Structure formats: structure tokens, C-alpha cells
Amino acid sequence: MDEKKINSSIEFINTIEENSLFVLKGTHTPYHDCLGNISKKKDSHYNFKIQNTFREYLDMRDIPDVILETSKYNLSVNKIFINNIDNNDSKGEIYQFSVMSLQEEEKKYFRLAIKRKDNNQVPLHHFFEYNYPFQINTFKSREQLKLEINNNAFNFYFITYQDIKYIFIDSIQKLSYTEFYRSIYSILISFGFITGKLPMDEGYFFAYDNTDYNNFVHARYSTLIGSSSSIYNPIYTNAFSYISDNPTKARNLNKQLKGIKEKEFSNLCTKAYDSPELSSVMYLLLEASKGSLQMMAGCYSMCLETLTHIIASDNEDKLNPIKDKRMAKKIKDDLLSVINNNKDKLGDGYEILRNKIGNINQATNRDKLIKPFHLLGIELTIDDKECIDKRNDFLHGRMPDIEMGKIIDDKEFGKIFHTTLKLNILISALILKLIGFSGKILNHTQIHNSITKINLYEEIYRDI
């Protein structure tokens, strides 16, 4: 069984998070050799207080490149932020520090440890088709995923240790810190998209010379992007959570439902690593669900535009109206010849026509939105297409079919909510098909039809 050594990582985190006295060392700062105290703020960053020995020189500012010498570790801080000064102390915040130096591109085995802020358990077996057992001391668990990003392997696992929930990600090959950071971001964003739970906020990074992950040669604390969550996750393989009035139907559905396979999750993490645009789409899907209905609708519309553009760019030849490149060129040249011969007569219209002819073999905006679904084998319903057509209104801050300035009533709210949920489903379907998934996904328009009052008499799960 895979045995994890996490004691030294936990010990470092516990030691650092205790209130500690320090002596500040820094060049060209009146705080040099001043005494201070560093303390962990709950759920985010660190706070510090420095005794004001030289008050006449002090003001609120940022101080770069200082060392905080504690009894256990020397913390190297790129910048401390002083935001409050009184008669006794200067106070501020620290968002990143490190212990023992490491070059950014130096190759090491890395680990990330995140203390989870919520107590909700994520049942991996309802989202993923696979898991791997591991052991820590006498504790055994199957809450581990393995994956690869561009042939670099990672272990991604969840534990409860001394009543605190942790997430760990270990690199199995040597990477630079930059490569590891990009990798863990891609893994967590992808996990958030699948499960609706994105655990971030802050993390502790460790570098090792070997894969026993026991004696680190570098440690770093850093704040991360904020955690996020959504109830509109695309995958969940326990139908009983959504069908309470028909246990036979739920039981039969469970036999057909499947989660994400190891290769599919690796594909998703790799695509997120290689495409910042795709990462942004998945993050925005999570973040938008916390906002107003108008915000959700606008953000989902942007996500759809971005995602279909990614797919269209990779399949431009398949989307062009004229498939034969020679024919397309001949038609373009013939048209240009006609307007060139009449340039003097066309005046300002010449440049407009020339630009339009240059783009004559490009798909329309609507085709660029619709055809990616066909390319990936996703069958669109009439309602799907109607909801896609409304995305342009959302992008420009308009509510479809709602008179400007009019208060939205419950019926109109339901229509907009239905369209918004449908956009979410379609975006999720595209992403899942891109990574090779085929199966049933949650149909949130049907799940929430008691709110929208729009019942298309579809199933709770939709085939893609």
C-alpha cells in the first residue's frame, strides 16, 4: 500500500502558525533589528506587529526583502505591507514567505499542503471512477487520485489528521517551482469543475531532493486565489440525491452512471495547464454561481463564447463554409478582382468590401457557437439552440424578452434562470466531451424546474 510521510509537513505548518516572536533584519529600513510578533489570521494570510523604536522615521508603506528571525525558522519575506501605525507598534500583513532559498527554475520534488476551511466531505467515489488506497501511520484511506500532466505524474489525496482536514498534491517527477505551481492550479481548477468544490485560499509548498517527502530543503507559504463552490457540478453518480420519490428508477440509473476516469481527469488537467482560457472558463463557472442571476447569465455567456472559440480555432477547416481551399481562394480572388476594377466608384465602401471578402470563408458567429457541439457529437435540442441564441443579449447586459427598466416578475425570472442553467449544462458538456467523456451528466434545468416553472419533461440526467 502507498505510504505517505506527512509528519514533517504538518509539524512545519503547526510551528509556523503558532504566534512567534521575531527580530526583523533588512537593508535600508528603520525596522532593522526591531522586535516583532507574527500571527496567523484565520483562513487567510499572516499578521505582524513591530515595536516602533524609531517612530520619527515611520510611515505606512511596503518594505521589501526582509528576514524575520524566529526561534525555529528564518522567514524570508519579499514584501511586508504596513497598514497601521500607532504609538507602540507598526502593524501589517504578509502574503508570502519562504524558508531556505530555492531558485525558481531549480528542479525538485514538490508537495502542496492545503488546510481545508470547510468540513464538508467530498465523496470522490460519486465523481470519479477510480481511487487509490494509501496509508499514513495506522490510518488507511482510499481518498487518493492519481493523474498525469504532460507526462508528469502527481498524487492528489485527502486526509483528516489530528481533526484537521488536509489536501496534499505530490509531484512524482522533479519539476521547477513554476511548473509545479501551474500544475497544482490546473489540478485544483479541474477538480473544482468536476465536483463544484474548489479548495484554495492559501497553501504550504515543500521541496525535496527525493520522493520520501520527509526532509524538505525548501518551504514556502503563499496565499492563492479564493476558494469557490457551486451546486451546478456536471457529474454525480448517486441518483438517489436527486430522485427521492422513485427508488427503483434511481437504483436503475445508478447502474448506468459513471464518473470521471483517470485518463479523462489527466486530459482535463493537461488541457487546463496548456490553456489559460480553459482554466478561466472553469473558474468563472464556479465563481459566477455565487453572484446574481444577471451576473451568472453574463458570465456563462462569456464562458460559452470563449470555449466555442477554443474549439473552433482547433477545427477551423471543418467550420469553413467552403471546404476546398483552392476553390475558396479562387472565389476570394475573383471577388477582389471585381471590386479592384471598381475601386474609384466604390469610394469609402472599397475597404469595407475588401475586409468582408477577406473573411468570406469564415463561419458566422452563430455557426461558431453551434458547430462545436456537432463536432463533438453533442445533439442540441430546440431549447438548447434558443438558449444559445440569447447569449448575445446577456453579453451586452440585456435580459432577453424583458423590457428595459421593468421589474422582473417570477415568471420572467424563471425564464432567465432556465436559460442560465441551460448555458451551464452546455458548457460542461463541451468540456467533458473535449476530454473524452461520454455518459450521463446532470440536467440542472430539470432539477430546478420547480423554480423556473419550465418543465420540458426531460430526464434528471442527460446523455452526452
Q: Which cell numbers hold the place of 189?
A: 481548477
3-class SS of residue 400:
coil
What are φ and ψ of residue 442, in 5° steps?
Answer: -70, 135
Q: Which cell numbers hold the place of 403?
A: 423590457
pLDDT for 402: 55
Q: Which residue has the cell 423554480?
A: 451
- pTM of the prediction? 0.88
pLDDT for 319: 65
pLDDT values of the chain reduced to their tens digit, one per residue, 464 residues: 677 889 999 999 999 999 899 999 988 788 888 899 999 988 789 999 988 766 555 566 788 899 999 999 999 999 888 888 877 788 899 999 999 999 888 999 999 999 988 766 789 999 999 888 888 877 788 899 999 999 999 999 999 888 889 999 999 999 999 999 999 999 999 999 999 999 999 999 999 999 989 899 999 999 999 999 999 999 999 999 999 899 999 999 999 999 999 999 999 999 999 999 999 999 999 999 988 888 898 899 999 999 988 887 776 666 677 777 788 788 888 788 888 888 888 788 888 888 888 777 776 777 778 888 999 999 999 999 999 988 878 876 666 555 555 556 778 888 899 999 999 999 999 999 999 999 999 999 999 999 998 888 889 999 99
pLDDT for 407: 57
Q: Strands 2-3, 134-136: parallel, antiparallel or unpaired by DSSP?
A: parallel
How far is residue 425's CA from residue 445's CA, in Å, rounded to a whole number?
A: 8
DSSP 323-349: --HHHHHHHHHHHHHHHHHTHHHHTTH
pLDDT for 53: 61
How far is residue 284's CA from residue 296's CA, in Å, rounded to a whole number?
A: 9
pLDDT for 189: 97
pLDDT for 401: 55
Q: Which residue has the cell 512567534?
A: 20
How far is residue 247's CA from residue 150's CA, in Å, rounded to a whole number?
A: 43
Nearest to 235 by CA among 278, 192, 299, 283: 192
pLDDT for 47: 92
Q: Per DSSP, what are the bridge partners of residue 38?
A: 20, 48
pLDDT for 308: 87
What are φ and ψ of residue 131, in 5° steps?
Answer: -160, 165
**In angstroms, how far is CA 83 from the centroid of its own chain?**
31
Q: Specify the amino acid at residue 240.
A: F
Residue ranges of alpha helices (H) inside 86-222 are 177-195
Virtual torsion, Cα 328, 333, 335, 337, nearest 10 deg: -170
